[in-house]
A and B are shown apart, each in its own frame.
Chain A
Amino acid sequence: MKEWLAMGGHGFYIWCSYGALAIAVGVELYLLKRGRRRSLERALQHRTEQEWS
């Protein structure tokens, strides 16, 4: 396992690349989930403002 992770001495470069992708995808999916909730809340706010005006 240790040998496999070392990737023939190139493990640092490979795992930094794949790690960055995993983080980027994770952040994007988290923001997407949060964004949906915010969109619904903004739509609700818009409707409430419209009803009051």
Chain B
Amino acid sequence: MKTFRIFRFASPASFYPLAGHLATISAVLAIVLAVAGLYIGFFVAPTDYQQGESYRIIFIHVPAAWMAMFTYVVIAFWSLWALALNARLPAMLAQALVPTGAMFAFISLWTGAFWGRPTWGTYWVWDARLTSTLILFFLYLGLAGLRAAIDDPRRADRACALLALVGVVNVPIIYFSVRWWNTLHQGATISMTAAPKMAETMLTAMLLMTFSAWAYTIWVALRRVRGIIIEREAHTEWVADELRREGLLR
């Protein structure tokens, strides 16, 4: 029976305090990992023999690009769950991830442009990888816009879930674009089947920054979902208690 105790967190009232604790742990992890990653990235990792110092953009570009894709897949997963089981919390979690996913998609495009200029000689090309990532950014904006356009949260959940599920097809296109098309963008930075092509310290810094981006996303999404839960569960007694704790309700 102990196995099923975890399902009690499917209730917003139970998940709310858990999200608070997990957000604090994630915040600490994100900061520690980012400090370690930036230290190794800037002070330990050597200069690249081809790209010089400009390659150091990799420590934020690759984690941002991975997080933008991964976050969208997670949004699609929660959306499917919400649609299939008509569940509230997964829809709220999907909603909470959208702004952070959009931020990472933007950072991925921005840093890619500033890496592309010294490497390729241009900030932008209508290349398969870049264009599909731009589409991902627009999908995030679409999700945010669609939600803002619908007043009823439950209807907005369903509409956004459908868009998320349709849009998720873009993620494998982004990932495999460098294989399917002849692009200016380099191939995969890390492969599960081959040894890494970069120095160990470069890889360590990049992975630390990636884990930091994960922890940051969890931190921010959990903080955001707490706000969403409070608003949507405003009619409940436990939210009244929370408002009393905040000194807003007598």
Contact = CB atoms under 8 A, between A and B. Distances in A.
Given A20-B107, A43-B239, A25 B230 contact: no
A14 B57 contact: yes
Contact of A46 (B57, B110, B216, B234): B234
Given A10-B53, A40-B230, A21 B235 contact: no
Given A7-B53, A31-B99, A32-B220, 13 more contacts: A7-B56, A9-B52, A9-B53, A17-B110, A20-B111, A21-B64, A21-B111, A25-B216, A29-B220, A32-B227, A41-B248, A47-B239, A47-B243
B78 interface: no
A47 B106 contact: no
A9 B240 CA distance: 58
19 contacts: A8-B47, A10-B53, A13-B117, A14-B53, A17-B114, A17-B115, A20-B107, A24-B106, A25-B103, A28-B220, A32-B224, A36-B226, A39-B228, A40-B248, A42-B231, A44-B234, A44-B248, A46-B234, A47-B243
Contacts of A47: 234-235, 239-240, 243, 249
Interface residues of B, number: 39
A8 B53 CA distance: 6
B60 to A, nearest CB: 5
B114 A36 contact: no
A8 to B, nearest CB: 4
A20 to B, nearest CB: 5
Nearest to B123: A13
A13 B111 CA distance: 8
> Which residue of A7, A14, A32, A39 has the most chain B CB atoms within 10 A of its CB atom?
A14
B151 interface: no
Interface of A: 7-11, 13-14, 16-18, 20-21, 24-25, 28-29, 31-32, 35-36, 38-44, 46-47, 50
Q: Which of B52, B54, B61 has the most CB of A within 10 A?
A: B54
Contact of A24 (B54, B103, B224, B242): B103
Contacts of A9: 52-53
Contacts of B154: none
B118 interface: yes
User: Which 4 interchain pairs have the tightest Cβ spacing?
Assistant: A39-B227, A46-B234, A43-B234, A10-B54
B231 A43 contact: yes
Contacts of B246: 40
Of the listed residues B53, B216, B220, B228, the one surrounded by the most CB atoms of chain A closer than 10 A to its CB is: B53
B53 A21 contact: no
Contacts of B118: 10, 13
Contacts of A20: 107, 110-111
B110 A8 contact: no
Given A14-B54, A24-B103, A43-B231, A36 B223 contact: yes
